[in-house]
A = this chain, B = another copy of it.
Amino acid sequence: MARPAAARVSSRSPAIDQREKLIGATERLLCSQGLGCVTTRDIARAAKVAEGALYHHFQDKAELMLSVVLHQLGDFPEVLQSLPMQIGQNTVQKNLERVLESAFAFHFRIVPLVCSLFADQELLARVRKMMNERSMGPARSTSVISAYLRAEQQLGRVAPAAVPETVANLMLAASFNTALGDHFFHGGSGGEAKAHRRLREAVRALVIGLSPKNETKRSREKR
């Protein structure tokens, strides 16, 4: 017997469908209202799912929140996948700019989520624990970027005195902070173009440094 087309909205099994609908709805609500103001009822309504269904897929509200955070973090490795292939290509500055652009998109998405956690220290502690267990967090992106920088150091395209880890951290800090600032001061509508310009400037500042004798031919040409 053919099911009516209207019931076949999703091609997935309904169980997975519900789980994802819940995560999706929670993501949306978390950004627009903040963790402290999102109720299980809100989530269920937004996901068009019964309130009790939430507890079929997640042990409790905190676990749903956790899943949302981890769901976002899940994209992390892919962002940087292409970086090792750029070693020796283009200019170092251009390569770093491209990385920071993707990092920013990711950071922009997770800022409201990650920051919201500070409102509930218990939940924060749980997320912390899970992230430690799975060794997630910014450590991975830092290591990918610093590996790239080390490779460029061996090619002579990065100063031997530079400390790759420190530079990688500075870059990610710039990205995360720009995202946080956009959310905090402009409600998340800070203009992507403006953010990207600031990130490019940050990369350039990292490249040329403050020392007065840094003026090399190449950096002069690029200006």
Could you tell me which A residues sit within 8 Å of B by CB distance? Answer: 32-37, 92, 111-112, 114-122, 124-125, 128, 131-132, 137-138, 149, 156-163, 166-167, 169-170, 172-174, 176-178, 180-181, 183-185, 187, 198, 201-202, 204-220, 223
CB <8 Å contact, A187 and B128? yes
Question: Contacts A128-B185, A173-B174 hold; do A210 and B167 have CB atoms under 8 A apart?
Answer: yes
Report Cα–Cα, A83/B206, bound state, in Å. 22
Question: Of A36, A92, A162, which is in contact with the most chain B CB atoms at under 10 Å from its CB?
Answer: A36
Out of B121, B158, B205, B220, name the residue touching A162 (CB < 8 Å): B205
Please tell me if the beta carbons of B211 and A214 are within 8 angstroms of each other in the complex.
Answer: yes
Please name the residue on chain B nearest to A96 by beta carbon. B210
- B174 A170 Cβ-Cβ under 8 A: yes
Instruction: Give the CA-CA distance A218 to B33 in the complex, in Å.
Output: 51
In the complex formed, the residue of B with least CB distance to A112 is B118
Chain B residues within 8 Å of A180, by CB: 176
- In the complex, are the beta carbons of B201 and A209 less than 8 A apart? no
Chain B residues with Cβ below 8 Å from A32 are 121
Q: How far is the CA of A119 from the CA of B210 in the complex (A)?
A: 38
CB pair A206–B210 under 8 Å, yes or no, is yes
The answer on a CB contact under 8 Å between A209 and B212 is no
Would you call A205 and B163 a contact (CB within 8 A)?
Answer: yes
Chain B minimum-CB-distance residue to A137 = B185
